[in-house]
């Protein structure tokens, strides 16, 4: 093969100005119409909204993880026992989840790989004499913890859906509801049996629409319930202000439970994977499909087929390995940078994707969780339902909540409560299956069909569910639901640490301004000192490294999206807070039982 065939094609004139990062943003916002008169502000706003419409979907899918049935018990318990005081905890947990969810979105959009795949890249074939230690001591344990999180999350969705079916049709016993809900999602997955591709396909849009409809059902049900109970909104809004009721009389345990049930581990895997999907074609942000695909115009099949994209990506890398060592290094770096996302691509996707995540989490997850707590407080703490719990014990489980809603609001609203619970469980079950695929492929490079993955996960989760439903019944189901949330909170600490580390690295979060420019020379090594640095100099160097306000320089010729030092410190403190909360929860369970 002639060497000319191995070189990347020239960039068309309209895609040439990689050296000016602002030029891409202007092209994206203005649509590339440089010769026309500047559009009016209203037209630009409408055009931006239409463009943002292509990005709506991943945020809704991510928000499902924060309103699954596992959240319902803690939110209802908090409202029925402590009134509106724990609304601040819901808001705090939602903002914390939003921060980490946006980090996972940035990781996927900038690096073009999801969180699980980055773990494999960093630990599987690490260039070190301790390669097997990294692989067996870090990578595989992280994979096991991720799979445990998937199983316990699916267990919570299974139990929540089974409770909802039993509430809607009391003639079906609990064990029968467990068997029924174990098979229901298979019907949907047989219709949607596709792995997430590098670009958005029609079936993926249908999947996102289905999840959106289920989430809207949950939101609409709670809006109707809140209209019926008519809470005192002045007191509700005061609940978002921190006060002593959060920690008084055992309130801290409920607060820990809310945080543990809200921030779900699998949401970061699916969030980073969805961010790698390109919602716009290269022509939409000022580049050509021919240049982006390595010289061949992408057909519709290739554009929608992740396997075809990966084969083309690997072929380009293999073709760069021929010739002399010097040619090999030059062409490999060129092919690597050329097939990775360009600066224009990242600029066109990142802001819209982050806004989609923020809008969905604040508009759906925080609102629904707040509505659950407000319902519990308005009916069972401030309303007529308080007489059923004079000792302040609150709502003990979802069955009690349903019975009390039926008693004080009527049968129609009780059915509405159960339908919302079923919709939450079904939507969360679908996203958990998707997360399981992402985890298995990312960590150990094993890809399978959604229904096969669903079969494996459900077979594991159905065994304890059936055993508890048959032997203990209603009380055991609720205890198992709470235990699954405690396990997920422990798994969360193992998921967040790699996310924080990867998002802080310039080598992962940097985009070259000109993808075809030769790589910048490595900085010369520091001169060796004959004598070690004095103690004062070493102390100053250590203090500089710990300074959260210090600036880190991005590699030459790149634009870095790495987390600043202060953000790394903030994420580290939140990670430590979650760890302390886990220790406290385990201690409390050991002292007083589940």
CB 25 within 8 A of CB 347: yes
Domains by residue range for the chain, with CATH? 3-30+60-518+537-592 (1.20.1740.10)
Instruction: Supply the DSSP symbol for 248.
Output: G
Q: How far apart are CA 439 and CA 452, in angstroms?
A: 14
Share of the chain above pLDDT 70, in %: 68
Which residues are 510's β-sheet partners?
A: 560
Round to the nearest angstrom and report the end-to-end CA distance of the chain.
68
Tokens of 538: 């070493």
Task: Using the predicted structure, report yes or no on whether residue 299 has a pLDDT greater than 50.
Answer: no
CB 469 within 8 A of CB 123: no
Q: Model confidence over 92-130: pLDDT tens digits?
A: 989 999 999 999 999 999 998 999 999 999 998 787 788
In this structure, of 21-30, 93-102, 285-294, 542-551, the range with the lowest mean pLDDT score is 21-30
For 291, the enclosing helix (H) or strand (E) is helix 289-292
Instruction: Note the helical H segments in 381-473.
Output: 398-409, 411-444, 450-471
Tokens of 458: 């459900």
Q: Model confidence over 346-370: pLDDT tens digits?
A: 888 888 889 889 988 888 889 989 9
532-549: string of b/e by CB count within 10 Å (b at 16+)? eeeeeeeeeeeeeeeeee
Q: Check residues 206 and 560 and name the one with the higher pLDDT.
A: 560
Question: What torsion do the CA atoms of 412, 418, 423, 424 make, to the nearest 10 degrees?
Answer: 130
CB 540 within 8 A of CB 145: no
CB 426 within 8 A of CB 442: no
Instruction: Supply the DSSP symbol for 446.
Output: -
Q: What average pLDDT score do residues 232-254 get? A: 81
CB 116 within 8 A of CB 446: no
Q: Model confidence over 7-53: pLDDT tens digits?
A: 444 434 433 444 444 444 444 444 444 444 456 777 777 777 777 77
Instruction: Note the helical H segments in 54-172.
Output: 58-64, 69-82, 87-111, 115-123, 131-134, 140-168
On average, the pLDDT of the chain sits at: 74
Q: What is the pTM of this model?
A: 0.78
Distances (CA, A) of 514 to 146, 293, 336, 518, 561: 37, 16, 13, 9, 16
CB 178 within 8 A of CB 158: yes
């Amino acid at each position: 093969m002639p060497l000319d065939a191995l070189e990347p094609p020239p960039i068309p004139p309209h895609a040439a100005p990689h050296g000016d990062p602002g030029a891409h943003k202007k092209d994206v916002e203005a649509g590339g119409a440089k010769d026309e008169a500047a559009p009016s502000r209203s037209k630009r706003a409408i055009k931006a909204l239409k463009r943002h419409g292509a990005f709506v979907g991943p945020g809704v899918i991510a928000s499902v993880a924060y309103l699954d049935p596992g959240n319902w018990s803690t939110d209802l318990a908090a409202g029925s026992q402590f009134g509106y005081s724990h609304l601040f905890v819901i808001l705090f947990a939602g903002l914390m989840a939003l921060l980490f969810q946006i980090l996972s979105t940035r990781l996927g959009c900038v690096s073009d790989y999801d969180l699980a795949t980055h773990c494999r890249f960093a630990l599987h074939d690490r260039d070190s004499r301790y390669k097997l230690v990294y692989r067996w001591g870090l990578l595989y344990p992280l994979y096991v913890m991720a799979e445990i999180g998937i199983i316990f999350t699916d267990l919570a969705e299974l139990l929540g859906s089974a409770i909802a079916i039993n509430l809607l049709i009391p003639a079906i016993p609990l064990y029968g509801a467990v068997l029924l809900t174990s098979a229901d999602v298979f019907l949907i997955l047989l219709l949607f049996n596709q792995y997430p591709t590098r670009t958005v396909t029609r079936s993926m849009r249908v999947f996102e629409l289905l999840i959106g409809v289920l989430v809207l059902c949950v939101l609409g049900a709670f809006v109707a319930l809140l209209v019926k109970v008519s809470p005192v909104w002045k007191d509700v809004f005061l609940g978002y202000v921190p006060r002593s009721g959060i920690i008084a009389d055992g309130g801290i345990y409920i607060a820990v439970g809310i945080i543990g049930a809200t921030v779900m581990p699998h949401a970061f895997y699916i969030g980073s994977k969805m961010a790698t999907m390109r919602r716009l074609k290269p022509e939409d942000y000022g580049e050509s499909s021919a240049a982006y695909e390595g010289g061949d115009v992408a057909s519709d099949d290739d554009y929608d087929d992740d396997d075809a994209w990966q084969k083309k990506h690997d072929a380009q890398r293999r073709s760069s390995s021929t010739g002399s060592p010097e040619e090999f290094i030059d062409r490999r770096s060129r092919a690597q940078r050329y097939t990775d996302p360009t600066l224009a691509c990242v600029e066109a996707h990142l802001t819209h994707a982050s806004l989609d995540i923020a809008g969905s989490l604040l508009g759906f997850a925080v609102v629904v969780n707040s509505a659950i707590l407000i319902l519990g407080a308005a009916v069972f703490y401030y309303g007529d339902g308080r007489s059923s719990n004079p000792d302040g014990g609150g709502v003990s489980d979802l069955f009690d909540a349903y019975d009390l809603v039926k008693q004080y609001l009527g049968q129609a609203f009780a059915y509405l409560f159960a339908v919302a619970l079923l919709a939450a469980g079904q939507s969360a079950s679908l996203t958990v299956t998707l997360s399981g695929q992402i985890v298995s492929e990312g960590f150990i490079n094993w890809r399978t069909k959604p229904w096969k993955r669903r079969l494996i996960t459900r077979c594991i989760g159905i065994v304890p569910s059936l055993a508890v439903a048959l032997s203990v019944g209603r009380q055991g189901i609720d205890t198992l639901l709470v235990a699954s949330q405690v396990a997920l909170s422990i798994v969360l600490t193992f998921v967040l640490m790699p996310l924080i580390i990867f998002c802080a690295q310039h080598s992962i979060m940097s985009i070259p301004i000109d993808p075809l420019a030769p790589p910048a020379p490595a900085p010369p090594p520091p001169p060796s000192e004959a004598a070690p640095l004095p103690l004062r100099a070493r102390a100053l160097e250590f203090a500089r490294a710990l300074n959260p306000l210090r600036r880190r320089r991005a590699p030459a010729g790149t634009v870095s999206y790495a987390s600043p030092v202060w953000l790394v410190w903030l994420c580290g403190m939140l990670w430590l807070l979650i760890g302390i909360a886990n220790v406290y929860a385990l201690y409390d369970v050991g002292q007083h039982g589940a």
